[in-house]
Homo-oligomer: A and B are copies of this chain.
Amino acid sequence: MTENKPLIDPWSSNNITDYEHIFKEFGLKPFNEEWKKDLNHILFRRNLVIAERDFIKVLVRIKAKKPFVNITGIASSGPLHFGHKVDIDLFRFFKERGGRNYFAVSDIDAYCSRDKILTMKQAKELAVNNLKHALALGLDEKDVYVQSRKEQRYYEFAFELSKKITNNEFEAVYGHVNLGKISAAILQYGDILHPQLSEFEGKMPSITGIGLDQDPHARVTRDVAQRLGYDIEVPSFIYFKHQSGLREGKKMSSSEPNTAIFLDDNLKEAEKKLMSAFTGGRNTLEEQKKLGGNPNICKVYEMLKFHYEDDKELGRIYSECRQGKWLCGECKKYCANFVIKFLEKHQKEAEKKQKTAEKIVYG
């Protein structure tokens, strides 16, 4: 057995910093500045969407008010955190722009690809919890499907497309992985492509927003789409920056609880995590007043940048931080206040969604 270490491992929790290298290596295009005018959402305005493959096909449909497939999903190995909110935000954005919506609760994927999820029962309990939060974030229950509760055609299609992937191609992308991860990947290709089957929407452009670390799946999905022998569009992808962890150099990850504020974190706990987050502050108060802070590396500023809707207020914070007028202590309190208010309201909403989530997952 050879050890092929792939350049990007979609199952790891490492942070990806060397963007340009990856763009060049895998043929990703930086997201076109011009397009952002037509896409009025903070994720575009604030350069949190950074790259794309064939996005123009979807943009054309949006402008022409024609339908397109809007497909995403969550296969988290743990509870949802603020970083996951981006997936939901993008999904909602494309829904409002005319998408035909498919949101996968990826219980089989999570079970098959994650060592720490030991049984399907556990995967489904996690799915209920995650779905409850996703619904509270504004996901419409009508747009949701559960991998373990789909139509027969969906499964048949996943097995069917597996034939179109050679072992060499698969290993070049993922390295030498176990059969559970192969299953999970196959099902994920099926998730993205199945809405274009005649039994569902039929052929049309399709958009999925993913983190850069998920690009290996996107590449194989696009290759398979071209070889399947079905008349479908090669799916488009946009790539968002992952909200980085509250600690330096870490991605927000369900696998590492201290890196993230979870949507079901106790409010005190959430406040504590935020108050001890890594900032762009200077070593001394004096220095900071003189030189200003650095919001570009600050995890507190990043939280606001991803989730705080008011552009004007965010601009003020950025400038005043730069000028040394807005100091880390008050900024942290300000952000903690925002996060706690958000969580308080969110958690009430999530509790109301518990029964619905159970019904969707268990039937």
User: Using a CB–CB distance below 8 Å, which chain A residues touch chain B?
Assistant: 1-2, 108, 111-112, 118-120, 148-150, 152, 155-156, 159-160, 162-168, 170-171, 176-180, 182-184, 186-187, 229
A183 touching B156, Cβ below 8 Å = no
Say how many copies of this protein the assembly contains.
Answer: 2
A168 touching B1, Cβ below 8 Å = yes
Helix, strand, loop or mixed for chain A's interface? Answer: helix
Among all A-B residue pairs, the 3 with the closest Cβ atoms: A163-B180, A155-B155, A162-B183
B178 touching A166, Cβ below 8 Å = yes
The one of B149, B163, B165 that contacts A152, using a Cβ cutoff of 8 Å: B149
A160 touching B111, Cβ below 8 Å = yes
B159 touching A183, Cβ below 8 Å = yes
CA distance A155 to B156 in the complex (A): 9
Chain B's closest residue to A160 (CB) is: B120
The one of B2, B108, B118, B186 that contacts A179, using a Cβ cutoff of 8 Å: B186
A179 touching B163, Cβ below 8 Å = yes
Cβ contacts under 8 Å, A2 to chain B: 1-2
B1 touching A112, Cβ below 8 Å = no
User: How far is the CB of A174 from the nearest CB of chain B, in Å?
Assistant: 11
Q: Which of A149, A159, A167, A171: most chain B CB closer than 10 A? A: A159
B112 touching A162, Cβ below 8 Å = yes
Sample 12 A-B pairs with CB under 8 A, ordered by A number. Answer: A1-B2, A1-B167, A1-B171, A2-B2, A120-B156, A148-B156, A155-B155, A162-B179, A162-B182, A163-B183, A167-B177, A182-B182
